[in-house]
Amino acid sequence: MTTESATLKSKEELLKKLSKPEVISGSEILLRSLLLEGVDCVFGYPGGAVLYIYDAMHGNTDFNHILTRHEQGAIHAADGYARASGKVGVCIATSGPGATNLVTGIATAYMDSVPLVVITGNVMSTLIGTDAFQEADITGITMPITKHSYLVRNVEDLARTIHEAFHIANTGRKGPVLIDIPKDVSAQQTLFQPVTGVNIRGYNPTINPNKLQVDKMIKAISEAERPLILAGGGVVYSGAHEELLEFVTKTEIPITTTLLGLGGFPSGNELWLGMPGMHGTYTANTSIQNSDLLINIGARFDDRVTGKLSGFAPLAKIIHIDIDPAEIGKNVPTDIPIVGDVKTVLGLANKTAVRADKADEWRAKLKASKAQYPFRYKDSDTELKPQWVVEMIHESTGGDAIVTTDVGQHQMWAAQYYPFNKPRSWVTSGGLGTMGFGFPSAIGAQMAEPDRTVVSINGDGGMQMCAQELAICAINNIPVKVVILNNQVLGMVRQWQELIHGNRYSYIDLAGSPDFVKLAEAYGVKGFRASNKEDAKAVWEEALRHPGPAVVEFIVRKDENVFPMVAQGSTIDQMIMGDAE
């Protein structure tokens, strides 16, 4: 028997065992239900309200739980797992402070449409509303930042609730779903029978588009002289990268991809113009402003992309493809709305897609602009430039790594100087911009893709928000390569204070940060440091060869800025070019 067939047989045997009707506790129902949903890794932190759940885990060899060192680390890891794998990420926390420590991570996932099932414990049902010890109304607190929330008051509803939660999280516009389980419900016993069907009244996301609207899009393409595609995270989340490549190949329409859309279209394609927006390419931004047809595919017209809304794409007819009808027309008036799953919409469009024949002059102009205005920076032989470090990382990994980032200057440099050709290779907090996200999300990504190189690029500020998760890398030998671009300052805040607030630097000095090499070694993780190019290459190569986790601190220039930059209140073609001016 081959290894693959043996694995398949063992999975079948497990499913048969899990599906057996049996009187068991709510806690055991939870674990069985998660395994039946295909969950292979859960991140969490125990406490009083979830003790029955954790007791059910004891000795359960089928259940893989990673004990993080903070609940925020758990939910960011679950988020990274979901983004890298396309599966639903799962985390568990106790009531009160355990649950509230998840709020930032829930909001992060909600803003970026990431499918999570978040399980929290609560006090006994009889104590809810009495301000009991470690009681918090987590369903009320998170109502604006979840797709749906459940407070399970009856153990007989638990199996159905879990199955529904996974369905809601991973269909339509994906997002986090919270299940709050009182302690007595996790202890109660009932007959467990697996739930297979889902029938949720009022929840029926539109997958298939209106064909007439797709036909209108094809007609508009044939008439356009300056068409442009703006592709976002919806392309990645729907698995539509192949359909998008086919669509662009057939229409030959130039394309720009948002921050969350990076990897959804191969960066090496000659029609790709780069990333648009506040720190986007000159060509991407000016092409939007001069286009006569802008096709938004799975992006939400975020303010960091649009700049001043009243001056955004002033000459363009707007087509917006999105699975969430609430996004269409929300920020930018839409001429041709197409509601549906991106993969399905593009699959239908590809049947009749035509080349944009009137756009030859436009394509030639953008190709020349792309060559004339690449990302630029002034390199140095005496100090490390962060852009150079990112370029070195890209070259050493062949562009095949999964890259996660925290938020700030390093995030933008990674987006600019590490081109992506594969979907689900880029994990970053886009909408909420959450510091502390980068490192734990890399742990989740590595658990999802154990055979791929995972590089977590961080600043010295954000790294300190979840640095305690180095412990689980060491204990579980999770081989994440952690990069810290250390400029000893809150870099993006400093940049804004320099350019917008007249060099009035206010509370941005991080000079009291720890020795990151010693910090890594204290957790049992290999640590390296470099402050020049020769050492940088040497220590990075050694870190990549190291079979376990590694932290590499690069001492970079303090006053380096991210350019281009569009100041708030400006249109996106009003760019500060900086070193490329």
Question: How much is the pLDDT for 250?
Answer: 98
Query: Which of 339, 372, 405 delimits the end of a domain?
Result: 372
Q: Could you tell me the pLDDT band of residue 31, with boundaries at 50, 70 and 90?
A: very high
Any catalytic annotation for residue 301?
no
DSSP at 209: P
Choosing from 147, 183, 370, 481, which is the catalytic residue? 183
Q: Tell whether 47 and 168 lie within a shared domain.
A: yes
DSSP 19-87: TS-EEEEHHHHHHHHHHHTT---EEEE--GGGHHHHHHHTT-TT--EEE-SSHHHHHHHHHHHHHHHSS
Q: Is residue 381 part of a domain?
A: no
Cis peptide before 479 (omega within 30 of 0): no
Choosing from 71, 327, 469, 553, which is the catalytic residue? 71
Q: Return the ∠ at Cα 471 (arms to 470 and 475), rounded to 5°.
A: 120
**Does the pLDDT of residue 131 top 80, yes or no?**
yes
Question: How much is the pLDDT for 579?
Answer: 65
| 264 phi, psi to nearest 5 deg | -75, -15
Any catalytic annotation for residue 4?
no
Query: Which of 372, 394, 411 delimits the end of a domain?
Result: 372
Q: Is residue 295 part of a domain?
A: yes
CB atoms inside a 10 Å sphere around CB 1: 8
Choosing from 22, 37, 63, 134, which is the catalytic residue? 134
pLDDT, tens digit, for every residue of 234-258? 999 999 999 999 999 999 999 999 9
| 565 phi, psi to nearest 5 deg | -145, 135
**Does the pLDDT of residue 9 top 60, yes or no?**
no
Question: How much is the pLDDT for 7?
Answer: 57
Q: Tell whether 467 and 327 lie within a shared domain.
A: no
Q: Tell whether 178 and 261 lie within a shared domain.
A: no
Q: Tell whether 330 and 403 lie within a shared domain.
A: no
Any catalytic annotation for residue 133?
yes
DSSP 361-407: HHHHHHHHHHHHS-------SSSB-HHHHHHHHHHHHTT-SEEEE-S
Place of tokens 């004339």: 372
**Does the pLDDT of residue 382 top 60, yes or no?**
yes
pLDDT, tens digit, for every residue of 401-422? 999 999 999 999 999 999 999 9
Q: Is residue 7 part of a domain?
A: no
Which amino acid type is present at position 166? F
Q: CATH no. for residue 351?
A: 3.40.50.1220
Q: Is residue 419 part of a domain?
A: yes
Q: How far apart are the first and last CA of the chain?
A: 64
Q: Is residue 201 part of a domain?
A: no
Number of domains present in the structure of the chain? 3
Q: Tell whether 455 and 526 lie within a shared domain.
A: yes
Q: Tell whether 187 and 262 lie within a shared domain.
A: no
Q: Tell whether 161 and 306 lie within a shared domain.
A: no
Choosing from 11, 17, 133, 219, which is the catalytic residue? 133
Any catalytic annotation for residue 437?
no
Burial class (CB in 10 A: 0-12, 13-18, 19+), 176: buried
Q: Which regions of 302-364 does DSSP assign to beta strands (E)? A: 317-322, 336-339
| pTM (2 d.p.) | 0.96
Q: Please report, rounded to a whole number, the percentage of residues in the chain having pLDDT higher than 90.
A: 94
Choosing from 492, 495, 526, 533, which is the catalytic residue? 492
The more confident residue out of 581 and 355 is 355
Query: Which of 161, 192, 223 delimits the end of a domain?
Result: 192
Q: Tell whether 419 and 485 lie within a shared domain.
A: yes
Contact 287, 272 (CB under 8 A): no
Q: Tell whether 342 and 399 lie within a shared domain.
A: no
Q: Tell whether 172 and 71 lie within a shared domain.
A: yes
Q: What is the mean pLDDT of residues 170-187?
A: 98
Question: How much is the pLDDT for 1?
Answer: 47
Q: What is the mean pLDDT of residues 105-111?
A: 98
Sign of CA dihedral 261, 265, 266, 267: negative
Q: Please report, rounded to a whole number, the percentage of residues in the chain having pLDDT higher than 70.
A: 98
The helix (H) or strand (E) run that includes residue 90 is strand 89-93
Question: How much is the pLDDT for 15?
Answer: 77
Any catalytic annotation for residue 435?
no
pLDDT, tens digit, for every residue of 484-497? 999 999 999 999 99
Q: Is residue 410 part of a domain?
A: yes
Q: What is the mean pLDDT of residues 376-386?
A: 94
Q: Tell whether 491 and 552 lie within a shared domain.
A: yes
Which residues 6+ apart lie within 8 Å of 457 measured at CB? 390, 393, 403, 404, 405, 406, 410, 411, 414, 438, 483, 485
Its domain, for residue 113, covers: 15-192
Average pLDDT of the residues of the chain = 96
Q: Is residue 197 part of a domain?
A: no
Q: Tell whether 548 and 408 lie within a shared domain.
A: yes
DSSP at 464: G
Question: How much is the pLDDT for 164?
Answer: 98
Q: CATH no. for residue 554?
A: 3.40.50.970
Q: Could you tell me the pLDDT band of residue 19, with boundaries at 50, 70 and 90?
A: confident
Q: Could you tell me the pLDDT band of residue 374, with boundaries at 50, 70 and 90?
A: very high
Q: Is residue 581 part of a domain?
A: no
**Does the pLDDT of residue 581 top 50, yes or no?**
no
